[in-house]
Amino acid sequence: MPPEGNYLITGGSVSFASGDVIHQHAQSSIDQALDRLYARASPGAFHNSLERSNELRQESSSSSFPNINESEEAYGGLAKEIWEWIYDTETPTPIMWVHSPTGEETSHIAQAIADAMHQRGELTGSFFFSDISSSGRYDGTRLVPTLAYQLTQSIPQTRLDVANAVVHDRSIFDLTLLHQFCKVIVEPLERFSESIEQEVTTAPKLFIIHALEECTTPGFEESFIEVLGSTLGRMQHNVPQRFLTLGCHSDGLEECFSKPPLPEIVLRRLCTPFQIASQHPTPTRNLS
C-alpha cells in the first residue's frame, strides 16, 4: 500500500511522493508537466530575464530616470509606502495599483521592488508586459502560465499540485481565465497554506505585474482584474499574497479597478514626475 501523500496520476497509473522522497516515475511526470507549463509561459517577462535586463539598459540610457540602484532615494516616499504595504499583515487592500502618466517611472519602481524581494526569497512571481516584445510579453494568455511556473520555483512545495492540474486536464489553458488561475495558482497556494500550522513572515508573498495596459489580448485587462477580485481572499491564509500592479494610467484600468468589490481591496497610488524628482525620507527597509 503506498504511503500517504500527494499523487500524480498519469494515464491510469499512480505515482506518489512521500515526505522528501519523490519516486523516479513521479519526478519524470512532474518534469514533463512543468515543461508543458514552461512552453506556455513567457520567460522574457520575468523580472530577471535577459530580455528585461536589456530593456532596462535601454531605458536608463535614453531617459533621465534614476538608475535602479538609486531607486531607494529617488522614489523614497512612494517606495517606502509600497514596502510598508507589502509587510502589513492586516492590510484590507491586498492589491496596490501604482500608475504614472507615462509608465516609465513605474518600470523602475517595479524592478527595484522585484529585485529586492527576489533577493530575500519573498517574490512569488512577476510579469512585465511589453507591446513591442517579440517573445509574447504582450499576450495575456501567457500571464497565468508564467506566474504558475514561477510559483513552482519560488515555492517548490506547490510543484506537485501545479503539475497535477496541468497533467489532468490538457485543455486547461484553453479554458476560462478564472479556471486556469484557480487550478494552477490559487489552489496550490491554498494547499501549501494548509500545510503550515501558522502564518509565516518569510515565505514568498508578492506578485508583481507591470504594464498590464500594454497587453494586446482583447478584454484581458478586465477579465484578469475581475479574477483577482474574486479569488484573492482565498490567498490570505498563513502565506498571504499581495498583488502589486504598476504601469501607465489608462481609462480602461481605471474603470476596471472601480468595479465592486475592487474599490474596497485596491490601494491606488499616483507616481508623478514631480514625485520622482523630489527628495523623500529613506524607506524603513532597504531596497538593495
Q: Give me the helices (H) in the chain, please.
A: 24-40, 50-62, 71-74, 76-86, 104-119, 143-154, 159-168, 177-181, 187-194, 220-231, 251-257, 262-265, 273-277
Q: Report the C-alpha gap between 172 and 164 in whole angstroms.
A: 11
* Domain assignment of residue 239, yes or no: yes
Rounded-to-integer distance, Cα 115 and Cα 117, Å: 6
96 within a domain of the structure (yes/no): yes
pLDDT at 127 exceeding the cut of 90: yes
* In a domain? residue 69: yes
pLDDT tens profile 221-273: 999 999 999 999 999 988 899 999 999 999 999 999 999 989 999 999 988 75
pLDDT given for residue 126 in this prediction: 98
For the cut 70, the answer to whether the pLDDT of residue 207 exceeds it is yes
Q: Identify the bridge partners of residue 95 per DSSP, sorted by sequence position.
A: 243, 266
Residue 4 counted as domain residue: no
- Does residue 94 belong to any structural domain of this protein? yes
Segment 3-10 mean pLDDT: 49
Q: Is residue 177 part of a domain?
A: yes
What span, in angstroms and rounded, lies between the C-alpha atoms of 189 and 35?
20
Report the pLDDT value the prediction gives residue 285, as an integer from 0 to 100.
Answer: 42
Res. 111 pLDDT band, cuts 50 70 90: very high
Reported as a single tens digit per residue, the pLDDT across 41-91 is 999 999 999 999 998 888 776 554 444 444 455 555 788 899 999 999 889
Q: Does residue 141 lie within any of the structural domains? A: yes
What is d(CA 52, CA 43) in angstroms, rounded to the nearest whole number? 10
Closest of 40, 45, 42 to residue 173, by C-alpha: 40
Q: Structural domain tally of the chain?
A: 1
pTM: 0.83
pLDDT the model gives residue 80: 83
The answer to whether position 10 is within a domain reads no
Cβ distance 134 to 237 under 8 Å?
no
Q: How far apart are CA 264 and CA 284, in angstroms?
A: 26
CATH number of the structural domain spanning residue 77: 3.40.50.300
Percentage above 70 pLDDT, the chain: 78
CB 47 within 8 A of CB 117: no
> What does the alpha-carbon distance between residue 244 and residue 56 come to, in Å, rounded to a whole number?
19
Full residue range of the structural domain in which residue 267 is found: 43-277
